[in-house]
A and B are shown apart, each in its own frame.
Chain A
Amino acid sequence: MSNENSQNKKFDLKELPGKAMHKIKTFNWKEWAKDNIFTLVAMGGFVLLLIVFSFLPQVMRGPNVTFWRAAVLQRYIEQVTVYLILALGACFVYLMGSMDISVGYQVAVFATIFIAIVNAIGTAGAIPLALIVIVVLGLVCAVFNAFVGAYVKLPTVMSSVILMQLFSGLTTYLYGDSGYSARAIVVSLNILNETWVRVIVLVALIAIAYYLTNYTVVGKRAKAIGSNKLAAQQAGADLLKTRVLCYGIFALFLCVASVFAIARKDSFGEADSVSYQMDIMIMLLMGGMPLSGGYKGRVLNTVVGTLTYVVLNLGLSLCGVSAEYVFFVRALIFVIIVCLTCRKPGLLLPR
Chain B
Amino acid sequence: MKTKFLKRALCTTLACATVAGLGVGLTACQPSDSETVRIVVGVQQTTGNNYNSMCNLLDALKDELNFEYTTTLVDRNADAALSTYQNQLLGGAQGIITMVDVDAATTRKIIEDCEANNAYYAGYMTDFANTFANTDSAQAENVEYILNSDAMLGAVTDGDIVRDGGTRGEFLFDAVVKTDARVVTLCRAPLYAYPVAATAIDRFKELVEEYNAANEDDFTIVESVGAADDGALEVGFSMQNVPDATVQDWKAKGVEAVIAVNSLGKKILTNVQTSAPEIGIYQIGWDDNIISAFPQYIKTLCQTPAETIIYPLIRVLNAVRGNSYADEPADVEDTLISGQYIYITSEEELEKARTSCMNFAEGNPVSASLISVEEIKSLLAGEEGASFKKLVDTISSWTSENVLK
Contact between A318 and B87 (Cβ–Cβ < 8 Å)? yes
Within 8 A of B (CB), among A60-105: 61-62, 64-65, 69, 71-72, 75, 78-79, 82
With A and B bound together, what is the CA distance between A257 and B336 in angstroms? 36
A269: which of B43, B78, B88 is its contact (CB, 8 Å)? B78
Within 8 A of B (CB), among A320-349: 320-324, 326-327
A324 to chain B, nearest CB (A): 5
Q: Which of the 9-residue segments B189-197, B291-299, B314-322 touches chain A?
A: B189-197
Given the known interface contacts A265-B79, A271-B78, the answer about A317 and B91 at a Cβ–Cβ threshold of 8 Å is: yes
Contact between A269 and B102 (Cβ–Cβ < 8 Å)? yes
Residues of B within 8 A of A320 (CB): 70, 91-92
Residues of B within 8 A of A214 (CB): none
Within 8 A of A (CB), among B123-172: 134-136, 138-139, 142
Contact between B138 and A184 (Cβ–Cβ < 8 Å)? yes
A128 sits at the interface (CB 8 A): no
Kindly supply a per-residue 1/0 record for chain A positions 258-278, scoring 1 wherever the CB is within 8 Å of any chain B CB and 0 otherwise: 000100111101111111000
A75: which of B72, B86, B236 is its contact (CB, 8 Å)? B86
Residues of A within 8 A of B287 (CB): none
A306 to chain B, nearest CB (A): 14
Contact between B105 and A57 (Cβ–Cβ < 8 Å)? no
Given the known interface contacts A267-B106, A272-B78, A326-B73, the answer about A179 and B134 at a Cβ–Cβ threshold of 8 Å is: yes
Contact between A324 and B71 (Cβ–Cβ < 8 Å)? yes
Please name the residue on chain A nearest to B88 by beta carbon. Answer: A317
Contact between A275 and B71 (Cβ–Cβ < 8 Å)? no
Contact between A186 and B76 (Cβ–Cβ < 8 Å)? no
A176 sits at the interface (CB 8 A): yes
Within 8 A of B (CB), among A174-191: 175-176, 178-186
Residues of A within 8 A of B84 (CB): 317
B75 sits at the interface (CB 8 A): yes
Given the known interface contacts A267-B105, A317-B72, A320-B70, the answer about A184 and B87 at a Cβ–Cβ threshold of 8 Å is: no
Please name the residue on chain A nearest to B116 by beta carbon. Answer: A71
Given the known interface contacts A319-B91, A324-B71, the answer about A181 and B103 at a Cβ–Cβ threshold of 8 Å is: yes
Residues of A within 8 A of B236 (CB): 172
Contact between A317 and B87 (Cβ–Cβ < 8 Å)? yes
Residues of A within 8 A of B70 (CB): 320-323
A182: which of B71, B80, B105 is its contact (CB, 8 Å)? B105
Given the known interface contacts A71-B90, A320-B91, A324-B46, the answer about A271 and B76 at a Cβ–Cβ threshold of 8 Å is: yes
B104 sits at the interface (CB 8 A): yes
Residues of B within 8 A of A157 (CB): none
B82 sits at the interface (CB 8 A): yes
With A and B bound together, what is the CA distance between A270 and B190 in angstroms? 13
With A and B bound together, what is the CA distance between A268 and B116 in angstroms? 23
Residues of A within 8 A of B72 (CB): 317, 322-323, 326
Residues of B within 8 A of A158 (CB): none
B188 to chain A, nearest CB (A): 13
Residues of B within 8 A of A228 (CB): none
Given the known interface contacts A264-B82, A320-B70, the answer about A274 and B77 at a Cβ–Cβ threshold of 8 Å is: yes
B76: which of A75, A181, A265 is its contact (CB, 8 Å)? A181
A119 sits at the interface (CB 8 A): yes
Contact between B103 and A323 (Cβ–Cβ < 8 Å)? no
Number of interface residues of B (CB under 8 A): 40
B73: which of A78, A119, A176, A323 is its contact (CB, 8 Å)? A323
B191 to chain A, nearest CB (A): 5
Contact between B90 and A264 (Cβ–Cβ < 8 Å)? no
With A and B bound together, what is the CA distance between A172 and B138 in angstroms? 20
Residues of A within 8 A of B13 (CB): none
- Work out how many contacts link A and B, with CB atoms closer than 8 A: 130
A313 sits at the interface (CB 8 A): yes
A49 sits at the interface (CB 8 A): no
Given the known interface contacts A62-B92, A320-B70, the answer about A184 and B104 at a Cβ–Cβ threshold of 8 Å is: yes
B83 sits at the interface (CB 8 A): yes
Residues of A within 8 A of B62 (CB): none
Contact between B192 and A180 (Cβ–Cβ < 8 Å)? yes
A205 sits at the interface (CB 8 A): no
Contact between B76 and A184 (Cβ–Cβ < 8 Å)? no
A314 sits at the interface (CB 8 A): yes
A65: which of B80, B92, B136 is its contact (CB, 8 Å)? B92
With A and B bound together, what is the CA distance between A99 and B77 in angstroms? 23
Contact between B90 and A72 (Cβ–Cβ < 8 Å)? yes
A115 to chain B, nearest CB (A): 8
Given the known interface contacts A182-B105, A184-B103, the answer about A318 and B90 at a Cβ–Cβ threshold of 8 Å is: yes
Contact between A272 and B136 (Cβ–Cβ < 8 Å)? no
Please name the residue on chain B nearest to A181 by beta carbon. Answer: B192
B390 sits at the interface (CB 8 A): no
Kindly supply a per-residue 1/0 record for chain A positions 292-328, scoring 1 wherever the CB is within 8 Å of any chain B CB and 0 otherwise: 0000000000000000000001100111111110110
Contact between B83 and A79 (Cβ–Cβ < 8 Å)? yes
With A and B bound together, what is the CA distance between A274 and B142 in angstroms? 24
Contact between B105 and A65 (Cβ–Cβ < 8 Å)? no
Contact between A275 and B103 (Cβ–Cβ < 8 Å)? no
B109 sits at the interface (CB 8 A): yes
A302 to chain B, nearest CB (A): 20
B272 to chain A, nearest CB (A): 25
With A and B bound together, what is the CA distance between A185 and B138 in angstroms? 6
A181: which of B46, B83, B86, B193 is its contact (CB, 8 Å)? B193
With A and B bound together, what is the CA distance between A324 and B87 in angstroms? 16
Given the known interface contacts A181-B193, A274-B77, the answer about A119 and B90 at a Cβ–Cβ threshold of 8 Å is: no
Interface centre among A61, A175, A266, A318 (most CB of B within 10 A): A266
A272: which of B77, B90, B142 is its contact (CB, 8 Å)? B77
With A and B bound together, what is the CA distance between A61 and B84 in angstroms? 17
Contact between A265 and B77 (Cβ–Cβ < 8 Å)? no
With A and B bound together, what is the CA distance between A178 and B103 in angstroms? 14
Given A180-B134, A267-B106, A272-B78, 19 more contacts at CB 8 Å? Answer: A71-B90, A175-B192, A179-B134, A181-B193, A183-B136, A183-B138, A184-B139, A261-B79, A264-B109, A265-B106, A267-B103, A267-B138, A272-B79, A273-B79, A274-B77, A314-B90, A317-B88, A320-B91, A324-B46
- A residues neighboring B (CB under 8 Å): 57, 61-62, 64-65, 69, 71-72, 75, 78-79, 82, 119, 172, 175-176, 178-186, 261, 264-267, 269-275, 313-314, 317-324, 326-327
Task: Show 7 residue pairs from A and B whose CB-CB distance is below 8 angstroms, ordered by the A residue.
Answer: A75-B86, A172-B236, A179-B134, A180-B134, A180-B135, A266-B105, A323-B73
Which 3 pairs between the two chains have the least Cβ-Cβ distance? A317-B87, A182-B103, A267-B105
